[in-house]
Structure 1
Amino acid sequence: MAYKKLQKSVEQDPRYHDTWRLLKKYRDVVWSMELSVQQLKKEFECEYGSSVDDFLESVYMAGADLSGTQIENHARCIERSRKMLALVNSAVELLRTKHKNGEAYYWILYYTFLSPQQVENINAIIEQLQPYIRDIGRTTYYRKREQAVEALSSILWGYSSKDCLDLLSEVFPHTEDEA
């Protein structure tokens, strides 16, 4: 019986699980952030008769301390989400501008995970990719999507990925004295 190499897809590979999950939830997080910020702004305008920025500026100028309040907790939650989105966006931009296949990988990630509106299906994604990747079909799309997620994962998680550790051990082998 011929040996058939079983290869895990990017969705199943634990090295990329966090990146895959992060990308799958990207649109929902962006949408939730937008709603949360808009809701907070409207609540402030209704309750205090001013914008959030004006309110916070006046509170800080008056020397008031908002520590431990619901306002502070909500603001911190929004700020953490913004920082996480900024980190992902920065990693995607770095991938796009510095990786040898960055432009193609960017558009694959964009139409698959990052665009404001989810593309209807794989065929529609492939159609959108035609100007950026010549002669792309389903097999090529799936292969390049996995490569794009893998490349983004290495940017987000750095040298902690198994491939990077294996590469480093080849470049800097341990001697028995070091082990």
Structure 2
Amino acid sequence: MSSEKMALAVLKRGLASMHIDEEQVYHKTKLLLKIYRDVVWCIEDRVCEIEAEYYAMGGSRLAEALDYLDDYDPNINKKDLEEKLCSLLKSKWLIEIVDKALLKIKNYPDYGDLYFNILYKQYIVKYRYSEKEIIESLNCERTTFYKRKKEAINLMGIAIWGYVIPALRDIWQTECELNTN
């Protein structure tokens, strides 16, 4: 069996062992990757807006600013600020999930660097590469590129839903338990 077929077989076994539908994971992961760039680059503007509001209140730490809002400033729309902070936190989680999965992919033993470079250049960098530019930079054939791209997206799905999200869920649950005790 060629190393190409072996890599794909390993990916499929990984999905099957987690009872995850391969097509569903592929499409969900591709959608997530498609919005990632926009989320990252839009979040910069929101962070700047929130920081500007925060520093206008004279705070040096976020907790101090929220305490200030809670205790002293009836003119600030707390619900609006809370919604902005929640949106920012959700975006931060998305970025953290994708970044951790990308690191896992980069360390994957078979084609890890290639998978990482395909995903990074196709979905992550600020200025999108064309597929032609990616193929040239990776010095591979078009058919090989499309095979590896599909494998990379499948592996990303395994990394996200099989490893990163469950690990983060455990961490967040532990933190919640510590905060309630």
TM-score, normalization: structure 2?
0.66
Q: Distance in 1 between matches of 2:46 and 2:35?
A: 16
SS at match of 1:77: helix
Write out per-residue CA displacement over residues 17-67 of structure 1, whole angstroms, 9 at most, x where no aligned residue.
11000111111010111111112223444x53x36x44642543897499x
Q: Which residue of structure 2 aligns with residue 151 of structure 1?
A: 155
Q: CA RMSD in A?
A: 2.9
Q: Which has the higher contact order (CA 8 A, sep 6+)?
A: 2
Q: Which residue of structure 1 aligns with residue 141 of structure 2?
A: 137
Letter in 2 for 1:147: E
Checking the alignment, whether the CA contact within 8 Å between 2:54 and 2:65 is kept in structure 1 is no
Q: Which residue of structure 1 aligns with residue 85 of structure 2?
A: 75
SS at match of 1:100: coil
Q: Which residue of structure 2 aligns with residue 97 of structure 1?
A: 107
Match 2:133 to one of 124, 132, 140: 124
SS at match of 1:98: coil
Q: Distance in 1 between matches of 2:62 and 2:155?
A: 43
Aligned residues: 139
TM-score, normalization: structure 1?
0.67
Larger Rg, first or second structure (1 or 2): 1
Among the aligned pairs, what percent are the same residue?
Answer: 27
Gaps of 5+ in 2: 1-22, 164-181
Which consecutive segments of 4 or more residues in structure 1 shift more than 6 A? none
Q: Which residue of structure 1 aligns with residue 67 of structure 2?
A: 60
Change (3 A) 1:72 1:99: farther
Q: Which residue of structure 1 aligns with residue 5 of structure 2?
A: none
Deviation at 1:129, TM superposition (A): 2.0
Structure 1 segment 17-32 matched on structure 2, within 5 A: 17-32=27-42
Gaps of 5+ in 1: 1-12, 131-135, 160-179
Write out per-residue CA displacement over residues 134-170 of structure 1, whole angstroms, 9 at most, x where no aligned residue.
xx011111110000001111111229xxxxxxxxxxx
SS at match of 1:116: coil
